[in-house]
Structure 1
Amino acid sequence: MSVPVLLLEAAGPESEALARAAAASGHRVHAVTDAATLATYSGELRRLLAGCLVTDFAQPGQTLADITHYGRRIGVQALLTVNEYLTDLAASACAALGLPGNDPERAGAARNKALMAAALDDGHVITPRTTIVADLRELRDLYPAEAVGFPCVVKPADGAGSAGVTVVTGPEGLEPAWHAARAARVMYGLPRDERVLVQEYVGGREFSVESVTQHGVTTHLCITRKHTTGGTHRVELGHALPARLPAAAERTLLDQAGRAVTAVGVRNGATHTELVLGADGRCTVLEIGARLGAGHIGVLIQHALGIDPWRTLWDIALGRHPAALTPTRGRYAAVRFLTTPHAGRLVAVTGLPAVSTTIPAVRVRVAEGAPVGPATSNRGRLGHVIVTGHDPLAIDDQADRILRQITITVGPGSQS
């Protein structure tokens, strides 16, 4: 049955996939965005939309009123977002419209890292030791008071995509890390929390758990192994799923992810929980997002497990039970991201593989001549390659081999 549905922001790979999935099911898709982002919508995306509400996200109270009025006018039956910055707004809008959503009183804890640290602690989730500082003076006082050890991680309270996150190895790095955290951009001109988190650095292998919750019941779809850079800025260079781990390690990861889902009030929708598994088997939750994992994780789930995550999310948002969560494939999928260590202007990307049944996606998202530079956050990635197959080790080897064969040429020029 065709019904009107509302998508808080249709720009971006995951959002566009949600819009296409809804349109393919015959639903009338309406988007909520701001004027500047609407100007970037492609012709294809605009043709998918039955309507669009243009609002000012920088005024959350007015935006909620706008969404509520618009939703009631069109008779909206479901509301979703996969945009990190809009998940708490989505929870409030669902509550106002009487639609399945998350707890609006706790939704901020899946968006704001300071609130998240407190909520996870209250939920008996294992997390890094965290100190929250409001100004530079407080930060400077931490080291003499022996309240911070090294290495540590400094991050903004309301950042996303690893922007403004720094691994600090000594006291001389604290102040530059503070400034980097405060300089991290917040989308849509949203009101920002100026506080900064200083967290214990937790070493080990990095994973994420991809989950969906419906009517408060959580199903873990898979565990994703993450490939990240070392050094000062930890940028994600790839994902592979489903990760195969010893049963005890898997149970530990899923248990902590489930506790985190409950702690931040997720009742209906996807979650992406980032964790570290130490050499001693201890599992630490770093962060949780009340959304589908970005970085093409949804595409990997579809290729590896045969689950359509976007249709599943609409089913949950529409209150359809049960959502289709049983894997229909037993494959593996990996993505590798293209980056460059050189600052300048992109001249060419050569050596890209052809798209095939085992390499279903190859994309360069930065135009030739555009300014590029070393990736200090996930926004610095230039493109990606996806590889699928039946053997996880072979897939990882193939993905790494493809990455080595690609040449990114950067010429003189400044990075904006």
Structure 2
Amino acid sequence: MTGPAVLLLDAAGPESAALARAAAARSHQVHAATTTADGQAPAPLAGQVVTDFARPDRAVEDITAYARRHRVGAVLTANEYLTELAALVCAELGLPGNDPRLAHAARDKATMASALTAAGVRIPYTWLVHDDTELHDALADAAVGFPCVIKPVSGAGSAGVTVVTSAAQAAAAADTARMAHRRYGGEGEAGILVQTYAAGDEYSVETVTQDAVTTHLAVTRKVVTGGAHRVETGHSLPVRLPPATAAAVHREVDAAIRAVGIRHGASHTEVVIDTDGRCTVIEIAARLGAGHIGLLLRHALGIDIFTALLDVALGRPAALTPTAHGHATVRFITSPRTGRLTSLTGFPKRGPGVPYVRWRAAIGGPVNAVSANADRLGYFIVTGPDAAEVEQRADTLARQVRLQVEPPPSGGGPDQVRSASTAAMAP
């Protein structure tokens, strides 16, 4: 192969696989930094460096030494937990990357809240809480009110996030936030966050920044569960907002991108738009949106986002102009309760307008009532030229899915979904 090598921080997951394929298609060797020598990889690797992501100083030393030996010319990650490490590695190697002095603000949500507030970005009113006394004080603050949101400082995928409607629910929600799994150790600020609840419709903005020039690719509408745990069960793009609303959203997102030091690469900004068209930024991540948003961009707009991100990381001009004007949506199937999955019927098959289908829960295996993105059981994607027709078809297909879930044995608790059963993908 020719050209500089490409190094992925964490090679597992569909977005990493797509980045690896994009690099291989351009004749780049693909390497990975992992925590274990037998870690999951999207494809055969040219090599890998095993390091400890929970020790950033050591990880930077290990990864940069490896990168210099193997002529690495681009470092990327699709893993939200490693975006700060990616910025540090790129700075050490002199490669295009985000500002290492600010990158922590795209991971630690307390730091993020401070940075966005200082930049004038409209965000929910936020308390950083370390103990029960501070939790009581936060809930007593008239600016918080009910409902409010209690969530971890360091987390992803909606894990540990609870919408609380009364003070009686707060202690349990705080415990849930504290117990939320933190990958690679307990990095970040100790404590949890209490925030005002932002009422309105939920969206995300998918963006690529190169040489500090920002291009907004699409606004994505989110379908979200109700109740205490708000988990995304669908994404649809592109959404056409009224011009004044779109301009206001882009202003807030632009300011958020600058505030957390995103200079080279993707960003995924979650926002809420209220009935008056006002935009509140909930969070920003220095990575491509997960939940197969990259596939939606390709099918709806003709943007090969993974090749574009590779070009950004290599310092080459990225192709970000839409070449199509269609619509795409993904729908996730979840269980209504915790228990054992005994049957599945009506799940869609791959075919025209349904290019991707995957089911990952085993019949006879445990499933969880949905409280985080990890509880999703499967998904399908619907594409087409007309937004209304695509959405209608996706709704029809989703209504045809039937699950039977037996309750857990007496005294049994929730378990993790067991991987694998059926999968189908179109090229």
What TM-score do the two structures reach when normalised by structure 2? 0.93
Give the equivalent residue in structure 2 for 1:32.
Answer: 33
Q: Which amino acid aligns with 1:395?
A: V
**1:59·1:190 contact (CA, 8 Å) conserved in 2?**
no
What's the counterpart of residue 128 of structure 1? 124
Q: Which residue of 2 aligns with 1:185?
A: 181
Separation in 1, partners of 2:206, 2:16: 17
1:101 aligned partner: 97
Match of 2:418 in 1: none
CA contact (8 A) 2:300 2:324 kept: yes
C-alpha separation in 2, matches of 1:46 and 1:337: 25
Q: Counterpart of 2:155 in structure 1: which amino acid?
A: G
Tell me, in whole angstroms, the C-alpha distance in 2 between the residues paired with 1:374 and 1:316. Answer: 39
Say whether residues 1:355 and 2:350 are aligned partners: yes
Q: Is residue 254 from structure 1 mapped to residue 244 from structure 2 by the alignment? A: no
Q: CA separation in 1, counterparts of 2:363 and 2:190?
A: 36
Question: Structure 1 residue 364 and structure 2 residue 359: aligned?
Answer: yes
Query: Partner residue of 1:57?
Result: 53
- 1:81 matched to 2:77: yes
Q: Find the aligned partners of 2:169 and 2:186 in 1 and give their Cα distance.
A: 28
8 Å Cα contact 2:125/2:143 also seen in 1: no
C-alpha separation in 1, matches of 2:140 and 2:154: 27
Match of 1:115 in 2: 111
The size of the alignment, in residue pairs, is 410
User: d(CA) in 2 for partners of 1:107 and 1:138?
Assistant: 27
Alignment CA distance shift 1:249-1:148 (3 Å) = closer
Alignment of 1:394 with 2:399, yes or no, is: no
Cα distance in 1, alignment partners of residues 68 and 403 from structure 2: 50
Following TM superposition, by how much is the alpha carbon of 1:190 offset from its aligned partner in structure 2, in angstroms? 4.5
Which residue in 1 is equivalent to 2:22?
21
CA RMSD of aligned residues (A): 1.3
The partner residue of 1:167 within 163, 167, 183 is 163
d(CA) in 2 for partners of 1:395 and 1:46? 32
Shift of 1:295: 0.4
The two structures have a TM-score, normalised by structure 1, of: 0.96
Contact 2:164/2:173 (8 A) holds in 1: yes
Give, as a single letter, the amino acid of the residue that structure 2 aligns with 1:54: V
Which among 316, 323, 326 is matched to residue 328 of structure 1?
323
CA deviation profile, 1:280-303 (whole Å, cap 9, x unmatched): 111100000000000000000000
Partner of 2:40: 41
Q: Distance in 1 between matches of 2:4 and 2:93?
A: 15
- Note the alpha carbon deviations across 1:237-288, whole angstroms, 9 max, x for none: 1000000121111111111111111111000000000000000111100000
Instruction: Check whether the contact 2:127–2:138 (CA below 8 A) recurs between aligned residues.
Output: no
CA distance, structure 1, for counterparts of residue 360 and residue 155 of structure 2: 23
Amino acid at match of 2:347: L
Paired with 1:340 and 1:121, the residues of 2 have a C-alpha distance of 38
Paired with 2:130 and 2:371, the residues of 1 have a C-alpha distance of 24
CA contact (8 A) 2:17 2:43 kept: no
> Is residue 148 from structure 1 mapped to residue 149 from structure 2 by the alignment?
no
Are positions 1:382 and 2:380 aligned together? Answer: no
Q: SS where residue 160 of structure 1 aligns?
A: coil
The CA deviation at 1:370 is 2.6
Q: Which residue of structure 2 lines up, in the alignment, with residue 8 of structure 1?
A: 9
Task: Check conservation: 1:186, 1:192, Cα contact below 8 A.
Answer: no
1:376 is matched by which residue type in structure 2?
S
AA paired with 1:41? Answer: Q
- Cα deviations across residues 160-201 of structure 1 (Å, max 9, x unaligned)? 111111101111111111101001001123535321111110
Name structure 2 gaps, 5 residues minimum: 416-427
Cα gap change, 1:144 to 1:216, in 2 (>3 Å): closer
